[in-house]
Amino acid sequence: MGKYIIAGNWKMNKLPSETYDFVKEVAAATEGAKCEVVCCTPYVCLAEAVKAAKDTHVKIGAENLHFEDKGAFTGEVSADMLVDLGVDYVIIGHSERRQYFAETDETVNLKTKKALEKGLIPIVCVGESLEEREAGITMDLIAIQVKKAFAGIEAADAKKVVIAYEPIWAIGTGKTATAEQAQEVCEGIRKIFAELYCDKCAAEVTIQYGGSMNAGNAAELLAKNDIDGGLIGGASLKSADFAVIVKAAQ
């Protein structure tokens, strides 16, 4: 299946003054990793993170970007700015961005296209709420999110995108989807991707699970056929825990 990628999403945590030493700590703790290791940091930490990751196996990602190159968008950051810093990855459409900052399926699509255009690797998040799961419409909703995210994107570019399944009800709540629930949705995402593109494309795309993956449950989740890594929240803020998850991925 897809390339294994373990990406930490720091969210609004850690200071620029803490970043250099912590990324070095992560690099040391995950030395010899057989999967891609990524730290996605707040904008203000990116420069220090890139500096710390130089000459290590760790890649650096941002937590968001704007879909325009420049302009009167106070407080926003462009893809060119991220590329200029030396960033490799960018998270797009996280449920917290959708919930608190009016991110839509349409802006997710625009941002994904812009990231690809500029050579960044997008980590595109999809997921359902507890109400939607209980209503039995999880895969209907996921299908809409995936299809809208990839609208107008050719197969050659689509395969570069990482898809992160993050059930909203399991983000920051301490609840985690069972390994079977996570596998079921990730398998469904791969089937949707195959319908959009081809079976070979679907086999090559990386599908992560997010939603309270931690050192205790990572091995069971990552053992599933269609889970190619994780987008890690709280556990990515502790290098030892993050290292356990990275080890589980290999």
Torsion of CA 134, 137, 141, 144, to 10 degrees: 180
Q: CA geometry: angle at 36 spanning 16 and 153, to 5°?
A: 95
- Residue 18 per-residue DSSP state: H
Cα(202)–Cα(207) distance, integer angstroms: 10
Known catalytic membership, residue 66? no
User: Contact, 62 vs 40, CB < 8 A?
Assistant: yes
Q: Which of 48, 66, 94, 103 is catalytic?
A: 94
Cα(175)–Cα(177) distance, integer angstroms: 7
Q: Which of 36, 48, 96, 166 is catalytic?
A: 166
Q: At what angle do helices 16-29 and 239-248 cross, to 10 degrees?
A: 40
Q: CA geometry: angle at 21 spanning 18 and 27, to 5°?
A: 130
Known catalytic membership, residue 57? no
Active site residues: 94, 166
